[in-house]
A and B are shown apart, each in its own frame.
Chain A
Amino acid sequence: KNEVEQSPQNLTAQEGEFITINCSYSVGISALHWLQQHPGGGIVSLFMLSSGKKKHGRLIATINIQEKHSSLHITASHPRDSAVYICVGGATNKLIFGTGTLLAVQP
C-alpha cells in the first residue's frame, strides 16, 4: 500500500463539470503538494499547503490534517485541464509521491 494514495486513478469529465481528485496519506507530513503534469513530461507546481484551503483561478485545494486527506477541485473544467495530477507528501527530508490521477476533459 502506498503511503500516499490518490483516487480516482483515471477520470473522464465533460467540459464544464466540477472535478474532485482525492489524496489520502498514512504518514506524517509537513506539507502537501499538488502537481500537474502534461503529456510530454512538464511538471507544474499547483499548490503547496499545510492547512486549510488555497484557491488559484478555477483550482481549489484543501487539506484536513487530522484526517490526513487533501482534495483538489477544478471548477468549470476545460479540455486544457487534461493532465496527470500528482499529490506529493512532504516530510523531513523525504518526498512521497502519489500515483497520479489521469484526467481527461472532453469538449
Chain B
Amino acid sequence: DTGVSQNPRHKITKRGQNVTFRCDPISEHNRLYWYRQTLGQGPEFLTYFQNEAQLEKSRLLSDRFSAERPKGSFSTLEIQRTEQGDSAMYLCASSPRVRGVRGSYNEQFFGPGTRLTVL
C-alpha cells in the first residue's frame, strides 16, 4: 500500500463549472477526512466518514459541496457551480480502525492534495 492517493493533483476550472475530486485511502482504514487549505492558512475540516457513513460536516461545507463514500473505500468530493473563493488545496486523510473505541481521534495519514484553481 502506497498511502493515501488523490486525483487529480491539480485542477483548473472556470467559475460556474462543477468539479469532482477523488480520494483513495489506505486500505482498511475505516475513517476518511476531507480538509480545505487556503494559501497561508492551516487546513480546515470539511467532513468525515466512518466507513460509508458521513458522520460530521463542517459549516464550511455549503450546499454546493457534496461528499460521498459509497462503498466505504474511496471517496469523492464534488463542488457544484464553483466560485473563485473555492480555490484552495483539498486534502484527504484516512485513519485506521480503533477496535472498541467510538469517536476517538486516530493518527491520520494525509494524501498529497488536489489544488483547485477557479478562474
Contact = CB atoms under 8 A, between A and B. Distances in A.
A is bound by B: yes
A93 B104 CA distance: 7
Contacts of B89: 41
Given A41-B37, A45-B109, A93-B56, A86 B43 contact: yes
A33 B113 CA distance: 19
A88 to B, nearest CB: 8
Contact of B56 (A45, A48, A94): A94
B91 A92 contact: no
Interface residues of B, number: 24
Given A30-B105, A93-B56, A44 B110 contact: yes
A41 B93 CA distance: 13
Interface in A24-43: 29-31, 33, 35, 41-43
Nearest to B114: A41
Contacts of B65: none
B63 interface: no
Contact of A95 (B41, B45, B113, B115): B45
Q: Is the interface of A mostly helix, strand, loop or mixed?
A: strand
Nearest to A96: B45
Contacts of B91: 41, 43
Interface stretch (A56-64, A66-74, A97-105): A97-105
Interface string B79-115: 0000000000101010000000001111111101101
Given A86-B42, A90-B105, 8 more contacts: A41-B113, A42-B110, A42-B113, A43-B43, A43-B110, A48-B105, A91-B105, A92-B105
Interface of B: 33, 37, 41-45, 48, 55-56, 89, 91, 93, 103-110, 112-113, 115
12 contacts: A41-B89, A42-B110, A43-B91, A43-B93, A44-B110, A48-B106, A90-B104, A91-B105, A96-B45, A97-B42, A99-B41, A100-B41
